[in-house]
Amino acid sequence: MDTRVDEIAERIYRLSTFLPAVGPKGFTFNQFLVDAEQPLLFHCGQRALFPAVSKAVASLIDLRRLRWIAFSHVESDECGALNEFLAAAPEATVTHGAIGCAIWLNDQAPRPPRALANDEVLDLGGRRVRRLDTPHVPHCWDAGLMFEETTRTLFCSDLFTHVGDPRPLTEGDILEPAMAAESQFGFTGVTPATGPTIRRLAALEPRTLAVMHGSSFTGDGAAPLERLAGFYEERLAKGPAPRG
């Protein structure tokens, strides 16, 4: 199992592991390293991926320098290898929103987490990440995203999930394959809050969308986010989606 490394914005690295056996066309699991004075890893990957993903991190920085570990929501691909990373990086602190700390990390993490309030900024030294509470978007009560303000990179978690092993970074359309994957898997619990939450992300005008499963996007990030919000609003208006 190999994890490929690509720089998708200045000092923002995508660490991608393709698992061909997952789903009809295989599936990528992507973590992101923000290289700063205090490096931050967004997503850990599953425990089985730890050897490959940690090797990829170590190809960029001394793993012991890792200072922050963050993720969107409690699921194995987002944070399965959290304890392995905390063991390998003794100076690292896991950070999450208040709900995620209350329902999971305060009990499960081997070291106390740092809770971030909605809109709170973590100054990494050269890079600044803003925590955005997005409960149930893409899914899970504790869900939140991060926005790196210097490069205008939005860490999207499972938003825009699409299958296969497409190129690391594209200026092309990620919405069509994302809508196809949503229709197939139904991973988003669509509520009246889904559209407005995604439109709030569009208002940040990101230049890079760091996507957890599939290609990351570079360009006008607000446009695909607006269209994604519209897609979910249409879904909501139509009622329960058929599973394809």
- Which stretch, 32-40, 58-66, 123-131, 157-165, contacts Fe ion (CB under 5 A)? 157-165
40: enclosing H helix or E strand: strand 40-42
In the complex, minimum distance from the CB of residue 188 to Fe ion, in angstroms, rounded to a whole number: 9
* Residue with smaller CB distance to Fe ion, 15 or 124: 15
- Which stretch, 82-90, 113-121, 151-159, 220-228, contacts Fe ion (CB under 5 A)? 151-159
In the complex, minimum distance from the CB of residue 8 to Fe ion, in angstroms, rounded to a whole number: 17
Interaction of residue 212 with Fe ion, rule CB under 5 A: yes
* Residue with smaller CB distance to Fe ion, 80 or 206: 80
* Residue with smaller CB distance to Fe ion, 169 or 212: 212
* Residue with smaller CB distance to Fe ion, 42 or 124: 42
In the complex, minimum distance from the CB of residue 72 to Fe ion, in angstroms, rounded to a whole number: 7
Interaction of residue 19 with Fe ion, rule CB under 5 A: no
Rounded Cα gap, residues 165 and 167, in angstroms:
7
Rounded Cα gap, residues 100 and 79, in angstroms:
12
What b-and-e string marks burial along 162-198, b requiring 16 or more CB atoms within 10 Å of the CB?
bbbbbebbbeeebbebbbebbeeeeebebeeebbebb
Cβ-proximal residues to 9 (8 Å cutoff; 6+ apart), any chain: 148, 151, 153, 207, 208, 210, 218
DSSP letter for each residue of 119-170: T-EEE-SS-EEEEEE-TTSSSSTT-EEEEETTTTEEEEETTT---S---SEE
- Which stretch, 33-41, 113-121, 158-166, 222-230, contacts Fe ion (CB under 5 A)? 158-166
Interaction of residue 75 with Fe ion, rule CB under 5 A: yes
Q: Which of 20, 66, 64, 19 is nearest to 46 (CA)?
A: 19
Interaction of residue 158 with Fe ion, rule CB under 5 A: yes
* Residue with smaller CB distance to Fe ion, 165 or 220: 165
Q: Which of 53, 77, 156, 175 binds Fe ion (CB under 5 A)?
A: 77
Binding footprint of Fe ion, residue count (CB under 5 A) = 4
In the complex, minimum distance from the CB of residue 242 to Fe ion, in angstroms, rounded to a whole number: 21
Rounded Cα gap, residues 208 and 222, in angstroms:
10
- Copy the structure tokens of residue 44: 């850990």
* Residue with smaller CB distance to Fe ion, 42 or 67: 42
The contact set with Fe ion (CB under 5 A) reads: 75, 77, 158, 212
